Structure 1
């Protein structure tokens, strides 16, 4: 269990949208080291809708980590229903970001823990997350919670 004495985890409010977008844009820039092509195509015009839905709780959730009034990290996750698969209801941890200077303090762990708890509250027992194979820090974080390799994706660029 992470030490949250220096920060709090809460569900995001609608007025948090600008800082959530700012955090996620920083995530996109940080992830360019893993995939320069994909992140050139991020549809900024869809960011308001995407993150607002999670903040409003429409088939998803957005958590923020806050310290002394400053949002220092956030996580978004979505519920998906796939009738042809079992279990049909599952969630996907979409994005997680912790600001520089606040990493390795348990913020990411606390955000993931809140998301796992939300899953239990809504009766979902399967969580899916994707990360780049080279992102050792993220993989280590998820494995601490019991995530295990599930699907291997391969990419070929024909350029």
Structure 2
């Protein structure tokens, strides 16, 4: 059972973010399954459950990445990560920040939690001298696209597929 709610909850005025720790892994692994469940309708190529997108523990341990959690009091209500990636040889800048693992407890959606997480991730990237941020989102995921556009993101490349 997921550790989140489906009813809209009032957000306290003391929402905070902090770096995730390995002690947060049980909740973060549930968040990951929430992401998989949400994205499954957008991608018919996903294997049957259980699947995992991330090695969250490794991301927590890396010096070149940061996993952030959003908190309402002590309760973890959102997550995201930023990781330094090397760009292709033919583009600039040579390194960029890549965002992923964006999840907000359904009871807290639409209340600025994702913005708070993204602000913390972008601050981490800026402090490391990175000048570009990228992420991936399914083209049919309109709510996520709107959230990213509000933070200044715009489409760069559309990957297409077909079966043969």
Name the TM-score, length of structure 1 as normaliser.
Answer: 0.87
Aligned to 1:154: 160
Inter-CA distance 71–77: structure 2 relative to 1 (3 Å threshold): same
Deviation at 1:75, TM superposition (A): 0.4
Could you report, residue by residue, the CA deviation over 1:54-79 in whole angstroms, capped at 9, with x for unpaired residues? Answer: 21233211000111211111002221
Deviation at 1:82, TM superposition (A): 3.1
Deviation at 1:24, TM superposition (A): 0.9
Aligned to 1:62: 67
Q: Quote the Cα distance in structure 1 between the aligned partners of 2:66 and 2:48.
A: 26
**Alignment pair present for 1:27 and 2:35:** yes
Match for residue 96 of structure 1 among 84, 94, 102:
102
Inter-CA distance 130–39: structure 2 relative to 1 (3 Å threshold): farther
Q: Quote the Cα distance in structure 2 between the aligned partners of 1:82 and 1:120.
A: 17
Name the TM-score, length of structure 2 as normaliser.
Answer: 0.84
Quick check: 1:32–1:39 contact (8 Å CA) kept in 2? no
Q: Quote the Cα distance in structure 2 between the aligned partners of 1:36 and 1:4.
A: 38
Higher helix fraction: Structure 1 or Structure 2?
1
Q: What SS is found at the alignment partner of 2:25?
A: helix
C-alpha RMSD over aligned residues = 2.1
Quick check: 1:75–1:111 contact (8 Å CA) kept in 2? yes
Gapped regions of structure 1 (runs ≥ 5): none
Q: Quote the Cα distance in structure 2 between the aligned partners of 1:80 and 1:63.
A: 18
